[in-house]
Amino acid sequence: MDLTKEKRLWMYRKMYEIRRFELEVDRLFKANMIWGTCHLSVGEEATAVGAIAALEADDMITSTHRGHGHCIAKGGRLPQMFAELLGRETGYCRGRGGSMHIADIETGNLGANGIVGGGVPIATGAALASKMKKDGKVTLCFFGDGANNQGVFHESLNIASLWRLPVVYLCENNLYGMSVAFSRSTAVKNVADRAAAYDMPGEIVDGNDVEAVYHVVKKAVERARRGEGPSLIEAKTYRWLGHSKSDANVYRTKEEIEEWKQKCPIKRYRLKLVEEKIATEEELDRIEKEVEREIQDAIEYAKNSPEPSLEDIADGVYA
C-alpha cells in the first residue's frame, strides 16, 4: 500500500536506466573504449532497484564486482560512472578504479569490490558503527551466491547476529559463480537456509519481481532499524550475459538463457503497470526516451573528459 505511483515509476525508470547503461558499457567495451573487464547485470535489475527502494536516503549499501546497478539505484550519476569506466579524470575514482571499484559516499554507497564477498565485512562494520553512534541507519549488503561459501560471510553473519547489528544481507543468486552452477558448489539448497545457523530470519524472493523484492527487503530493513538484528534474503535471479567480458559462456545452454529472458524484469513490470492502470504506455515510453537522452549525454561527457596525466596517474592508487 505504501507504493505510490511516483515510486513505481521511479522503479521502472531505474531498471530501464540500469539496462541501458549496461548495454552501452557492453558496446563501449567491444569498441575498445573500456579496458580491463566488466561484470554486467543485464537481467538482474529488479533486485537492485527493489531493494534500494526500501531504504531511506541516508542508509548505506555495500556492493559487488557486478555493482553498476547498485550504484545507479542508490543515486549514482551516469556521467561520472561512464567517465570512471572510460578511465577519465572526472570519474568517481578519477579513472583509477574502473568498473569494480566505484564508490559514492555522498549517496551512501560504500563501494563495489573486486574481492568475492569483500563487501560483507565492510557492511557489518558499517552497521556496527551505526549501532555505536545510534544514528538509526541500516546497511544493505549485496553479495553473490559465490560469496556464501567464503569464510568471511559466515564470520560476519555470526557477529552481526550476536551483536544485533542493523544490517540486511541480500544475496543476488544468479545461479552461477563464474562458470560453476550453484547446485555444484553449495551443500544447501538455498543460501537463505544459512540463516538458521545464525539465529536470523532467512527469506527467498523472486529477484525478477521488483515489488516482491521491495516488500521483503523493507520488512527486513524495518526489523533492523528497530534494533532486532540482521536478516538474510536470497533473491533468485539470472544474468543474461557472461560472468565477465572474458567469459565465453559455454557452460550454459542457449535454451536456458532464452527461458530466463522470457522472465525479463523490465517487460514484466511494464506489463503490470499498464494492466493495473498505474501508468499508460505513453508515460512509460516518455520515461524510456528521457533515459536514452541521459545515457547519450553521459557518454559524451565521459568521452570529452580528460585522461589522468602521467605526472599524477598514481595519485590515490598507493598509500
How is the beta sheet containing 231-236 ordered, strand by strand?
A: 60-62, 139-144, 167-173, 231-236, 202-206
Q: How confident is the model at residue 249, as a pLDDT?
A: 83
Question: Residue 252 domain-assigned?
Answer: yes
Question: Residue 241 domain-assigned?
Answer: yes
Name the nearest CA neighbour of 213 among 33, 52, 7, 3.
Answer: 52
Question: Residue 315 domain-assigned?
Answer: no
Q: How confident is the model at residue 248, as a pLDDT?
A: 81
Name the nearest CA neighbour of 225 among 50, 49, 58, 48.
Answer: 58
CATH code, domain carrying 81:
3.40.50.970
DSSP 269-292: HHHHHHHTTSS-HHHHHHHHHHHH
Q: Do the bridges between strand 176-177 and strand 202-206 make them parallel or antiparallel, or are there none, so unpaired?
A: unpaired
Question: Residue 162 domain-assigned?
Answer: yes
- Sequence-distant (6+) residues with CB within 8 A of 201 are 195, 220, 223, 231, 232
Strand partners, 141: 62, 169
Q: Where are the beta strands (DSSP E) in the chain?
A: 60-62, 139-144, 167-173, 176-177, 180-181, 202-206, 231-236
* Helix, strand, coil percentages in the chain from 3-state DSSP, rounded to 5: 50, 10, 40
Question: Residue 310 domain-assigned?
Answer: no
Name the nearest CA neighbour of 172 among 33, 317, 312, 44.
Answer: 44
Question: Residue 314 domain-assigned?
Answer: no
Q: How confident is the model at residue 158, as a pLDDT?
A: 98
Q: Measured between alpha carbons, how far is residue 139 from residues 8, 55, 62 in Å?
A: 23, 9, 8
Please state the pTM of the whole predicted model: 0.96
CB 91 within 8 A of CB 99: no
Q: How confident is the model at residue 24, as a pLDDT?
A: 98
Q: Which domain holds residue 19?
A: 5-305
Question: Residue 198 domain-assigned?
Answer: yes
How many domains does the chain divide into? 1
Each of the 319 residues of the chain gets a pLDDT tens digit; together they read 689 999 999 999 999 999 999 999 999 999 999 988 899 999 999 999 999 999 999 999 999 999 999 999 999 999 999 999 999 999 999 999 999 999 999 999 999 999 999 999 999 999 999 999 999 999 999 999 999 999 999 999 999 999 999 999 999 999 998 889 999 999 999 999 999 999 999 999 999 999 999 999 999 999 999 999 999 999 999 999 988 888 888 899 999 999 999 999 999 999 999 999 999 999 999 999 999 999 999 999 999 999 999 999 998 888 7
Helix, strand, or coil (residue 309)? coil
Let me know if 217 is exposed, middle or buried by CB neighbors in 10 A (0-12, 13-18, 19+).
Answer: buried
Question: Residue 311 domain-assigned?
Answer: no
Q: How confident is the model at residue 83, as a pLDDT?
A: 98
